[in-house]
Amino acid sequence: MDKNINEVIGDLKSYLEYLKGMGITSLPLSENIPEKVIRSEILTLAEVRKELGDCKRCKLHRTRRTIVFGEGNENATLMFIGEGPGYDEDVQGRPFVGKAGQLLTKIIESINLPREEVYIANIIKCRPPQNRNPEPDEIQSCNPFLMNQIRVIQPRIICALGTFSAQTLLKTDTKISALRGKLFDLEGIKVIPTYHPAFLLRNPERKREVWEDMKKIAELIKNPTLMTEL
Ligand code: SF4
C-alpha cells in the first residue's frame, strides 16, 4: 500500500534522527539507501556506545557523574526500559542498582529469568539534578541512542517501566495506568508498559498489576505465536 505524505515525512524524520544519533551530520545526494542496509551498519552495542562518546548533547552532561548506557545480554529476548539514572546509578554507572533496581531484579526473577539474561536501559542516560523528571529536549537528544540499542538487540519484547518510558516509546501522552498490561508495536517489537519499580516502592498495593503484566510477558516468551494473535 502506498504511504501518505505524513508517513513519508515521519519515516524521513526518523531516518535523519537515526543518522544524527550515529554522528552523521551530512547526507550523500540522490542515495536511496534501503533501511535494511542502514540497520546492518549497526553491528554491536559497543559501536553505539562509541558513537555516544563523552556525550554533551544535552544539559544533563553538566551535572552527571557517569553516563549510564545500559547493561545485559546483547541478544536478549526481553528488554526493560526505565526512565533515567538516580543517585546510585549515577555513582555506579549501571542501570537499576538502587532500591528500585533491587525490586526490578526480583520482578525479572519472578518469571524465572536471571537478570543477566535481559537487557536494561533507560530513556535518558544521565541523572537529572535532584532526580527531577526528564525534560523533552533531553529525551529527544538521548532517544536516537536508545533506539539504536533496541535495533542492535532486537528483543522480542520491551517492557516499558513507568510513564516516561511508555509515553516516549509509544509517542503518546496517555497515562501509564491506561497503557499498562496492553500490547503495542515499536518497529515490529512488542512493547508492554507496566509500573516503574520506584512507583511500586511507594505504592506496594499496585504490585499485583505488575505481576499480571509479567505473567503476560512470560507467556509471550514461552509462546511467541500468541504475539501475532494479540
Ligand atoms: S542524557 Fe543522553 S543526550 Fe543528554 S548528555 Fe546524557 S547521554 Fe547525552
Taking the centre of ligand 1 as the mean of its atom positions, its distance from the CA of residue 177, in whole angstroms, is 28
Q: Write the residue with the smallest CA distance to atom 8 of ligand 1.
A: 55
Q: For the chain, first and last CA: distance in Å?
A: 23
- Indicate whether 124 pLDDT > 90: yes
The grid coordinates of residue 40 equal: 546492518
Taking the centre of ligand 1 as the mean of its atom positions, its distance from the CA of residue 110, in whole angstroms, is 32
Q: What number is the average pLDDT over the span 11-39?
A: 49
Position 15 scores a pLDDT of 56
Taking the centre of ligand 1 as the mean of its atom positions, its distance from the CA of residue 163, in whole angstroms, is 19
- Indicate whether 135 pLDDT > 70: yes
107 HSE (CA, 13 A, CB side):
33
Beta strands in 24-170 (DSSP E): 71-72, 78-82, 119-122, 157-161
The DSSP 8-state label assigned to residue 17 in this structure reads H
Q: How far is Cα 199 from Cα 103, in angstroms, rounded to an integer?
A: 11
- Indicate whether 188 pLDDT > 80: yes
Taking the centre of ligand 1 as the mean of its atom positions, its distance from the CA of residue 106, in whole angstroms, is 28
- Indicate whether 28 pLDDT > 60: no
Are the CB atoms for 156 and 189 separated by under 8 Å? yes
Position 223 scores a pLDDT of 86
- Indicate whether 92 pLDDT > 50: yes
Position 30 scores a pLDDT of 36
Are the CB atoms for 122 and 85 separated by under 8 Å? yes
Are the CB atoms for 122 and 84 separated by under 8 Å? yes
The grid coordinates of residue 69 equal: 548506557
**Any ligand 1 atom below 6 A from CB of 60:** yes
Position 225 scores a pLDDT of 76
Position 38 scores a pLDDT of 45
Tell me the average pLDDT of the chain. 88
Could you give the percent of the chain with pLDDT greater than 90? 78
- Indicate whether 35 pLDDT > 50: no
Position 224 scores a pLDDT of 79
pLDDT in tens, 142-178: 999 999 999 999 999 999 999 999 999 999 999 999 9
Position 33 scores a pLDDT of 36
The C-alpha angle with vertex 185 and arms to 38 and 112, in degrees rounded to 5, equals 105
Q: What number is the average pLDDT over the span 7-23?
A: 58
**Any ligand 1 atom below 6 A from CB of 125:** yes
User: What residues contact residue 137 under an 8 Å CB cut-off, 6+ apart?
Assistant: 58, 59
